[in-house]
Structure 1
Amino acid sequence: MTFTLAIIGRPNVGKSTLFNRLVGKKLALVDDRPGVTRDRREGEARLADLRFTIIDTAGLEEGASATLEGRMRAQTEAAIESADAILFMIDARVGVTPDDKYFADLVRRAGKKVVLAANKSEGKKGEAGLVESYELGLGDPVPLSAEHGEGLGELYDALLEALPEATQPPDEDEEATTDVEISADEDGSEADPTKPLRIAVVGRPNAGKSTLINRLLGEDRLLTGPEAGITRDSIGVEFRWRDREMKLFDTAGLRKRARVVDKLEKLAGADALRAVRFSEVVVLLLDSAIPFEKQDLTIADLAAREGRAVVIALGKWDAVDDPGTRLAKLREEAERLLPQIRGCPVVPVSGATGYGLEGLMRAVLEAHEVWNRRISTARLNRWLESAIDETPPPAVSGRRIKIRYMTQAKARPPYFILFGNQLEELPASYMRFLTNGLRKAFALPGTPIRISVRSGENPFDRGKK
């Protein structure tokens, strides 16, 4: 059996550090300042033979429901509601504070199993706070050091005691079934409809990324608000769309690198770029009022260089006047400004009203299909022959470049190899001619196309220094 554990506590007590240690990856952003985590993040944790879902939450703070702190607390309360047990964490070096007592009452009223953890207990500085934690009335505290990995054995024992049924090891039949499922889930080079489609939603700050994802999910899963830069961690959320499993990644808004001086914003930006690298389709969300800013073009170029299929979403479309004329103009601009992903879908959407979501997801699925497309060598070379007859490659030093044949080495994105003589001398303009021809002839819109060359050895070059 398995269970869900939510880590709860004041800001800066080490919740995200423990989360990263239990999942075995640096998924959550960690910094010395309080209040780094804002959304709730889920991960698959391992502790000895236990396998469970762990939820990292924002630090509990008092505040009106309309404020950012109030909305963060609402996200934490949602995590408490969905969890089987709560790991209530305090800072042993600070000791028990009035906020700890207030939030301990909130946790106690939730009616869930609670494990009390006193983090930062290493050394003599944490001894007094460990003793004070008995005042909370949540049972014996578990002394921890999330930074150094101390006390995990005691945490293991506490989880066994709090959740005796959920922590029982699976029987042999269940283990055998799990092994079969894992071996059948090996990755391949082609599209696999049984695997969740990974989609990263990226864009400038305050473009409406979290609002759009919440509308797709049909719930307020991600923290939103009028403030720019609310999202920091890249949060992955699983959902099903028309019988297709997907995983959406909400990312922090990306600003120009020269404007980013805050360390935390740099970490959030790096986390967003990592989400792009691990995605299959990137949805670039633009503000319809000010689309195709330089930073938008930079983000689109980044996704293309990473080899990801790109879909452009025009957000806040409900506030656009004369939408028909505006859409035609923006699609023309996309063709002109983004030649590296020519034919990229441009879809108007509104996270506030839900307008255009059907068209957006249809475009995502089509872009993913193109990204995985393979073309037979016979079809490729029939096209190549006619393309060369129409526009032969230029001569170099009086000798004509000879292209013999082409083949597709792989998909995801489509990657082609040219074979011939002196292909290293092919100018960039001719490579663009071939790329645009492939895109048009084989219906490869909006996806990056890679072409590499391999030349045969010149026998007369042997022995030359």
Structure 2
Amino acid sequence: MLAAIVGRPNVGKSTLFNRLTGTRQAIVDDESGVTRDRVYGEAEWEGRTIPLVDTGGYVPRSDDPFERAIREQAETALADADVILFVVDVTTGLTDVDQEIAQVLRTADAPVMVLANKADNQEREWAASEFYQLGLGEVYPVSGTTKRGVDEMMSALVEALPEETDEETPDRTRISLVGKPNAGKSSLVNATLGFDRAIVTETPGTTRDAVHSVVRYEDQELLLIDTAGMRKTSKTEGVEYYASVRSEQTIRDGDVCILVLDATEEIHKQDLSVLTTVNEHKKGMVIAVNKWDLVPKDGGTMDQFTKYLRQYLGTLDHVPLVYTSAVTKQRVYDLLDTALEVAEKRAQRVQTSDLNDVVQAALRKKHPPSMSSGAFVKIKYATQVRTAPPVFVFFANHPEGVRDSYKRYLEGEIREAFGYDGVPLTLVFKEK
């Protein structure tokens, strides 16, 4: 389920996105074309969680026809969306660009809602009637700045979305392969399946849509998802832009994400950025160092590479590493085994007594820091309140006095004790 926000530059899409999600994720500026990175969020309304994507306006940087650029963005946006939120600007009125986007949206299977933004007062609300000329149905005057009309629009959006079903989904572990283009994600999927399910070429970015494949492995079903490569967003436009959006959506939907690295290339910041995104979404993490068959080796090559990679990962140095080759199928099934182990650990529940044994031992080794006032921080006990992803709540007399460095220390102790390698943990501190 997805609602995509589309429209020409500078109509206030990012402001509206921030209003709907209750965040300040999207950059807001008077200069057109500021939003070029993918921005993903969720809106909560009437008990529904609605994923939103702010697509940003397109700013031409070449002599390519503007019409082609608009059509490319609009067509790829509506390919995944269940509802299209077409944002226009009442202060400038109906433009030729609005008409061009509307022409493409008329072919969409998903319903289109026209949001006449910047309708900050009653006079501007009346002006919104001009946009009925687009022929896309109901027009909703809204203001992303003041929230005027947003409640009515959100109620209509919930009605337009598909009904949520209670049908049981197959009990499959979802494994997503993510990373830069041409790192070998599709080749690894094909090596696992034994046939060419995904198109494999030497051209970066061949896979623009997520390819889902079900495989039976060790008496259970796995869903392998080969995502489009996640490029540096400063160079991402059009189809590649939406490929990146789909990649992030796949991260959100998966249980474990395998970051595929090309062993023949230098590790880039973009690789770490992808892994950071996976960590932020609290998904299981595994790193596949692919094309290992092409690396010249001596007795300590793998150990040296592992040491280098662990240092580069920083606080994410607990993520399991598997050295693979899609061509020779070297350790391909070890990679699946590792991903399944991470998924199992991500879903495990730790007994409260066992957890507190570890916490108390950690407290004896390293006492919590005192408050600036001189009062001692005392952590009473901890309990796990959620699995997949794991969330632990700690009760203390002064929870605000537990510093980030000490939280990381406790996280490390829990990770080591219960085998949470590759699993993001959430530690919450409350007053007791």
Q: Does 1:225 align with 2:201?
A: yes
State the partner residue of 2:333.
Answer: 358
State the partner residue of 2:168.
Answer: 185
State the partner residue of 2:189.
Answer: 213
State the partner residue of 1:201.
Answer: 177
Superposed CA offset, 1:95-137 (max 9, x none): xxxxxxxxxxxxxxxxxxxxxxxxxxxxxx9xxxxxxxxxxxx
Change (3 A) 1:246 1:254: same
For the 8 Å contact 1:341–1:445, the answer to whether it is kept is no
Change (3 A) 1:239 1:439: same
State the partner residue of 2:212.
Answer: 236
Question: SS of the residue aligned with 1:399?
Answer: coil
In the TM superposition, residue 438 of structure 1 has moved relative to its aligned partner by 0.7
In the TM superposition, residue 242 of structure 1 has moved relative to its aligned partner by 2.0
For the 8 Å contact 2:72–2:239, the answer to whether it is kept is no
Q: Which amino acid aligns with 2:405?
A: S
The counterpart of 1:337, out of the listed 312, 315, 330, is: 312
The counterpart of 1:429, out of the listed 379, 383, 405, is: 405
CA-based RMSD of the aligned residues comes to: 3.0
Structure 1 length normalisation: TM-score? 0.57
Unaligned runs of 5+ in 2: 1-50, 56-68, 81-102, 112-164
Q: How does 1:283-322 map to 2 (within 5 A)?
A: 283-322=258-297
State the partner residue of 1:114.
Answer: none
State the partner residue of 1:415.
Answer: 391
For the 8 Å contact 1:340–1:448, the answer to whether it is kept is no
Structure 2 length normalisation: TM-score? 0.61
State the partner residue of 2:223.
Answer: 247
Q: How does 1:433-444 map to 2 (within 5 A)?
A: 433-444=409-420
Q: How does 1:27-426 map to 2 (within 5 A)?
A: 32-33=71-72, 146-147=107-108, 185=168, 195-260=171-236, 262-322=237-297, 325-396=300-371, 397-426=373-402
In the TM superposition, residue 319 of structure 1 has moved relative to its aligned partner by 0.6
In the TM superposition, residue 324 of structure 1 has moved relative to its aligned partner by 5.0
CA distance in 2, matches of 1:184, 1:340: 39
In the TM superposition, residue 32 of structure 1 has moved relative to its aligned partner by 3.1
In the TM superposition, residue 372 of structure 1 has moved relative to its aligned partner by 1.0
Q: Which amino acid aligns with 2:262?
A: D
Question: SS of the residue aligned with 2:341?
Answer: helix
Q: Percent identity?
A: 31
CA distance in 2, matches of 1:312, 1:148: 38
For the 8 Å contact 2:192–2:333, the answer to whether it is kept is no
In the TM superposition, residue 183 of structure 1 has moved relative to its aligned partner by 6.8
Change (3 A) 1:418 1:349: same
CA distance in 2, matches of 1:419, 1:248: 39
In the TM superposition, residue 323 of structure 1 has moved relative to its aligned partner by 6.2
For the 8 Å contact 1:310–1:341, the answer to whether it is kept is no
For the 8 Å contact 2:72–2:238, the answer to whether it is kept is no
For the 8 Å contact 2:370–2:377, the answer to whether it is kept is yes
| Structure (1 or 2) with the larger CA radius of gyration | 1
CA distance in 2, matches of 1:440, 1:267: 38
For the 8 Å contact 1:371–1:414, the answer to whether it is kept is yes
Q: Which amino acid aligns with 2:390?
A: P
200-209 or 340-349, which deviates more: 340-349
Q: Which amino acid aligns with 2:231?
A: R
In the TM superposition, residue 33 of structure 1 has moved relative to its aligned partner by 4.5
In the TM superposition, residue 199 of structure 1 has moved relative to its aligned partner by 0.7
Superposed CA offset, 1:328-379 (max 9, x none): 1222233323244333211111112212112111111111111111111111
For the 8 Å contact 1:318–1:350, the answer to whether it is kept is yes
